Amino acid sequence: MTGFDFSLIADHSALLLTGAAMTVYVVIVSFVLAFGFGIVVALLSFLPGAVPRAFLSAYSIVLRSIPFIIVLFIVYYGLPFAGFHLSALLVGILALSFYKSAYYGEIIRAAIVALPRGQFESARAVGMSPRQAFVHVIAPQLVRGLLPPSTNMTLTLIKESSVLSTVTIGELTYQGMVMQGATYAPLECFAAVSGLYWALCAGTAWIAGRLERRAGLAQKAAIDRNPLAASFLSFERPKVRR
């Protein structure tokens, strides 16, 4: 029982990789759902009226103050109680998406608020509907501001998906525990699991970095051609003029 046994990891690599693949699947689906719902939530928060506002603040406060594992248990044990019988995987993905949507929604809302109000107005003034203004004028400008916080949030999403192991979803953490049950070698198991989580997070960060560079490129090209423009990158009107 002495020494770190790499052969154990090699023997169980297929199992761990299956788990990692499941984690990737869960994360991608949850990300799409959570981000989509986050957009809806963020847009709802701009509607006038007390009802959507009260609903959204309740939603946000509740989701952001309850640990994810509790939300998961409530959904997992609550849905059958309410007469819905869904697979554990579906329930897990829905719970994770729902939970994360509060966070993505907050990020998206902050990015919209940070845009000058005149951007929306000038789109409306030329006759665009609110939806057209969002699609053609607001959304494209959000990409740059959204990328860094969304990346962080998505790294958290990857890590939080490990909680789904508690409801028998065969993702990475779950398979790590299966391996541990078979080998009684927790150190090897969880070191391997950690390595795989690191790889998933590093891959995600790498992709995000590429996207960030590309989003900045169009503007950077124009700035490079113009030294004056480079001096006020922030689009502010320069305060001192000569």
CB 183 within 8 A of CB 8: yes
Among 4-12, 65-73, 102-110, 219-227, the segment contacting another protein (CB under 8 A): 219-227
Q: Give residues 60-99 in contact with another protein (rule: CB under 8 A).
A: none
Note whether 225 binds another protein by CB under 8 A.
yes
**Where do runs of H (alpha helix) occur along the chain?**
6-11, 13-44, 50-65, 68-81, 88-114, 117-125, 130-133, 139-160, 172-183, 186-224, 227-230
Note whether 49 binds another protein by CB under 8 A.
no
Among 7-15, 53-61, 153-161, 231-239, the segment contacting another protein (CB under 8 A): 231-239
Distance between CA atoms of 74 and 66, rounded to whole angstroms? 11
Q: Give residues 124-183 in contact with another protein (rule: CB under 8 A).
A: 124-130, 132, 136-137, 140-141
Residue 171: helix, strand or coil by DSSP? Answer: coil
Nearest-approach distance from CB 239 to another protein, in angstroms: 12
Distance between CA atoms of 27 and 162, rounded to whole angstroms? 10
Using CB under 8 A as the binding criterion, the count of chain residues that bind another protein stands at 31
Residue located via tokens 């939080």: 160
Distance between CA atoms of 25 and 93, rounded to whole angstroms? 10
Instruction: List the one residue from 7, 85, 226, 239 that touches another protein (CB under 8 A).
Output: 226
Judged by the rule CB under 8 A, the positions of this chain that interact with another protein are: 116, 118-119, 121-130, 132, 136-137, 140-141, 218-219, 222-223, 225-226, 228-229, 232-233, 235, 237, 241
